[in-house]
Amino acid sequence: MKEIFFPVIIALIFDLIFKDPGRNYHPVALIGRYIAFLEKRLYPANSYKKSLILRGGLLVVLTLLPVSFIAFIYQHFTQKLPFLFQVVFQGVGLFFAIAPTGLAAVVTTIKKYLEESNLAEARKSLGMIVSRDTRELPAEEVVRGSLESLAENTSDGVVAPLFWYLIGGLPGVWFYRTVNTLDSMVGYKSERYLYFGRIAAKLDDLLNYLPARITGVLMVFAAFILRYDWKRAIKTWLRDAKKHPSPNGGIPESVLAGSLGVRLGGENIYHGQKSFRAYLGEPLNPLTPEVIDKALKLFWLTVFLMVLLLGGLFAVGGV
């Protein structure tokens, strides 16, 4: 178990120090460019449903195989090293798969711009962490987008990678990150990707099923510790999470909405197409920069509780 727990600590230390280590050559960015390269060559000229699904499935396979192989070889190499070097090198491999500090930094920047009434820059910053069109959003919608991204990425960007690292080491975490990247690029229910991205979207739903629910539980505990409305968080989870188009994304979003007494969801624009997401939570409090500050505290405490959970498993599992 120590081979799992100590690299997690190293990865989080690296994340706190280096935050975003550069977008152009970040492994996730490289995977994204590789996906885009394959998509251009695999997307069929015709629009037959069966052809789109099959070619989209081939995209998934051709992306997962090399990434998983590289992660396996890297982990195999680290296991031959002395324990200290093994921990550091595995921690580096995990560091690139998580992004709590970078995400929090962007959300904090959005809050700062909103407090300065610099809506244009706040919109640009939001555009770095969401795929919706942010160019015309009013301040309240910028706050909403920030909260939704923070909630979703509590699971996708932290809890789920750590969960899959616990289950499958570096091959497990990079299998997950690759599927998550595929879903973020081709998993939309748009005219182009409805069938082509179906397998990627379904696989992402499957891999996030348990992590999303773990995230929900940890967020409720965090809300309790912070003296937020944890009872309303549970109530909102049970009532509203199923309204979300994702079987998983609605859980952290509804828990955050309930604990802060805000309403998430509404109309978004993706690639020029309007999309309405059911409302989660109740508008008891306005969507202001102060709410972002409370959400960040909930986010960081949830991350801490996940690490504490891994530490507990390490203590129970011993050496």
Name the nearest CA neighbour of 193 among 97, 49, 9, 26.
Answer: 49
> Is the pLDDT reported for residue 255 higher than 70?
yes
What are the domain boundaries of the chain? 2-317
Beta strand residue intervals within the chain, DSSP E: 263-270, 273-281
Which pLDDT value is given to residue 269? Answer: 82
Categorize the per-residue pLDDT at 274 as very low, low, confident or very high, splitting at 50, 70 and 90: confident
pLDDT on residue 319 = 42
Tokens 């090399």 — which residue?
Answer: 66
Judge contact between 122 and 141, C-beta under 8 A: no
Helices in 116-227 by DSSP H: which ranges?
119-126, 139-154, 160-186, 198-225
Mean pLDDT over each residue of the chain, to the nearest integer: 94
CA distances from 234 to 159, 227, 270, 291 (A): 19, 14, 30, 19
| Each residue's pLDDT tens digit, 50-70 | 999 999 999 999 999 999 999
236 has a pLDDT exceeding 60 = yes
Please give the pLDDT value at position 2.
63
Query: What does the pLDDT look like over 5-20, one tens digit per residue?
Result: 899 999 999 999 988 7
What value does the CA radius of gyration of the chain take, rounded to a whole number of Å? 20
Q: Is 92 helix (H, G, I), strand (E, B) or coil?
A: helix
pTM of the predicted structure, to 2 decimals? 0.94
Q: Residue 4: pLDDT band by 50, 70, 90 thresholds?
A: confident
Q: Residue 240 corresponds to which amino acid? A: D
Name the region of 277 (left: φ>0; alpha: ψ -120 to 50; beta: rest): beta
**Residue-wise pLDDT tens digits, 82-128:** 999 999 999 999 999 998 999 999 999 999 999 999 999 999 999 99
- For residues 209-219, give the mean pLDDT: 98
Q: What is the pLDDT of residue 318?
A: 53
Q: If we measure between CA atoms, which residue out of 154, 223, 192, 200 comes closest to residue 60?
A: 200
- Tell me: pLDDT of 306 over 60: yes
Comparing 312 with 2, the larger pLDDT belongs to 312
Residues 27/176, Cβ–Cβ less than 8 Å? no
Tracing tokens 């203590």 back to the chain, one arrives at 315
CA distance 194 to 171: 28
Question: Is pLDDT above 80 for 22?
Answer: no
